[in-house]
């Protein structure tokens, strides 16, 4: 995780500043990963362990007992290796990682209470580092008046900025742009929305 306590405070302050310019709710969630992918190491290890005896049976005269021990050893070594977080993520198909990240983003949108505003203008900025996934989820009111290409432009620029390594600055720029988009259609209104205690979350 490349977000320090000071950076988190800066992001929180930037979100509050962006939100103060409109009646919309803005929440940013930064996830280390959208899933643990716990079944993948087991599946790959089992597959390799099942295939391992065949060359020994065909090309050697190793006893069945020794082959069984070799098979067990291969399984446990493989599962230890494949359980490393970076490798575990690489073994997961890209479409599975995207689907998990999208599901996690929807869960965070509901969890953070972004459907409770009267104007239905809550917006979630969700970033998952392991999946290299970023997404804006806007409630009905915001989605109707702000075109998808505007949200996509925000996400495209966020990805470019994060590739440079300055994650905090990238998130601050993205939430500022989010505030700009909301301010065009949802000016501040007294009592229009209930303030959220925290707007930036690391999960």
Lookup result for tokens 């295939």: 51
Size of the chain, expressed as the number of residues it contains? 203
Question: What is residue 103's three-state secondary structure?
Answer: helix
Chain segment 65-108, per-residue pLDDT in tens? 888 899 999 999 988 888 776 677 677 778 888 898 999 999 99
Condensed to tens digits (0 to 9), the pLDDT of residues 158-169 reads 999 998 888 999
Q: Extract the tokens encoding 94.
A: 């890209």
Q: Which fold has domain 5-35+93-202?
A: Diaminopimelate Epimerase; Chain A, domain 1 (3.10.310)
For residue 201, the cross-strand partners are 29
127 phi, psi to nearest 5 deg: -130, 130
Mean pLDDT estimate for the chain: 87
Burial of 174 (0-12, 13-18, 19+ CB in 10 A): buried
**Phi, psi (deg, nearest 5) at residue 138:** -110, 140
* CB neighbours of residue 175 within 10 Å: 27
Cα–Cα distance for residue pair 127/187, rounded to 1 Å: 26
pLDDT in tens, 105-150: 999 999 988 887 788 999 999 999 888 899 999 999 999 999 999 9
User: What does the domain layout of the chain look like in residue ranges?
Assistant: 5-35+93-202, 39-90
Burial string for 8-24 (b: 16+ CB within 10 Å, else e) reads bebbbebbbebbebbbb
pTM of the predicted model, to two decimals? 0.76
Specify the pLDDT at position 90. 72
pLDDT over 90 (residue 194): no
Give the pLDDT of residue 79. Answer: 85
pLDDT class for 45, splitting at 50, 70, 90? confident
């Amino acid at each position: 995780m490349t977000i320090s306590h000071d950076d988190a405070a800066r992001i929180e302050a930037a979100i509050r500043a962006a939100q103060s310019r409109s009646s919309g709710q803005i929440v940013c969630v930064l996830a280390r990963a959208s899933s643990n992918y716990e079944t993948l190491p087991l599946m790959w290890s089992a597959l390799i362990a099942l295939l391992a005896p065949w060359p020994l049976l065909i090309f050697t005269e190793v006893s069945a007992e020794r082959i069984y021990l070799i098979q067990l050893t291969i399984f446990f070594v493989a599962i230890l290796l494949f359980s490393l977080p970076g490798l575990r993520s690489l073994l997961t198909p890209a479409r599975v990682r995207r689907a998990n990240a999208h599901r996690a983003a929807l869960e965070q949108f509901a969890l953070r209470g972004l459907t409770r505003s009267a104007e239905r203008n809550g917006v979630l900025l969700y970033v998952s580092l392991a999946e290299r996934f970023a997404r804006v989820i806007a409630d009905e009111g915001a989605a109707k008046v702000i075109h998808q290409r505007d949200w996509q432009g925000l996400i495209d620029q966020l990805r470019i900025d994060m590739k440079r390594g300055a994650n905090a600055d990238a998130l601050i720029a993205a939430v500022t742009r989010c505030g700009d988009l909301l301010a065009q259609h949802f000016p501040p209104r007294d009592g229009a929305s209930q303030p959220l205690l925290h707007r930036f979350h690391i999960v």
